[in-house]
Amino acid sequence: MKKLLIAISCALLFAASASAQELVLRIDDMGALHSVNKACIESYRNGIAQSVEVLCVGPWFPEAVKMLRENPGLDAGVHLAITSEWENVKWKPLTDCPSLVDDNGYFLPMMWPNPAYPGLSVLERLDSINMQELEREFRAQIELAIKNIPQLTHISGHMFSTMFNKEVNELTRRLAAEYGLICTDVMEGAATYGFEMTGYTGESATSEDKINSFIRSLESMQSGKRYYFIDHPAYNDCEMQTVYHIGYDNVAVDRQGVTDCLCSEKVKEAIGRLGIRLIPISAL
């Protein structure tokens, strides 16, 4: 009888686990700024973040490496970049790739055409981009990440760098397989890994807006499904207050709201109440 009760309990636990909603919680751009690095770690230690994407070309990459080594449980990915979007802080490629940079040697600011930055998007220069240069740069970023980040498990693309056209998408898929890394940022990524993208359901201008809208999104999740959420934590501090690009000038306030949302006790309570399982990209 005792064995039967144990078997029934195990079966019920398995059924509950199998029917639970799963949420991949990914945060981006570690390595870009000190404020971002600190907020990413807080969003993991005191919040719900499970996976973080690291810009190897970012000026604060060395600090990001130290922080990740101090937090080995935080799943990490190399955030492949060929754009550098912010005013006042820029990053350059690791390799010689003149077809991917502006007149000062920095990556172009935009992926898509933007009237505020005429002629400075990757897609406007697509015909002149040298694919051998792009592959060499991607390889350099991947290899630097592998060398420095012990818990590296996957590849992602900054500003759609891995999926802005079919050729780049196929290159990314090939590199991921070669280096033994997961890549959800491919055109069929959602179908391949069985997830649906999710975000904020409602207003997201303030911290309170983000918390309430994110909880609404959590409450709309269906049992047995897997969801994928991406956002960018940072702090509203003197460093982030200098960071913007034309058309997006409230970066510090916006990204403080992300940090507040990911660390919110109300959000944690909702996740527990709804039985949502948080999983890293490495578990896909």
Instruction: Tell me the domains of the chain and their CATH numbers.
Output: 21-283 (3.20.20.370)
State the pLDDT at residue 134. Answer: 98
Query: Which DSSP category does 83 fall into?
Result: B
Residue 85's nearest CA partner among 257, 237, 251 is 251
Dist. CA 233–CA 70, nearest whole Å: 19
Distances (CA, A) of 144 to 95, 147, 182: 12, 5, 17
Q: What is the pLDDT of residues 225-260, one digit of tens each?
A: 999 999 999 999 999 999 999 999 999 999 999 999
- For residue 54, the cross-strand partners are 30, 78
Evaluate whether 161 touches 111 at the Cβ level (below 8 Å). Answer: yes
Q: Which residues contact 273 (CB under 8 A, 6 or more apart)?
A: none
State the pLDDT at residue 12. Answer: 34
Dist. CA 281–CA 24, nearest whole Å: 6
- Full-model pTM: 0.92
Residue 225's nearest CA partner among 55, 88, 21, 23 is 21
Low-confidence ranges of the chain (pLDDT < 70): 1-19
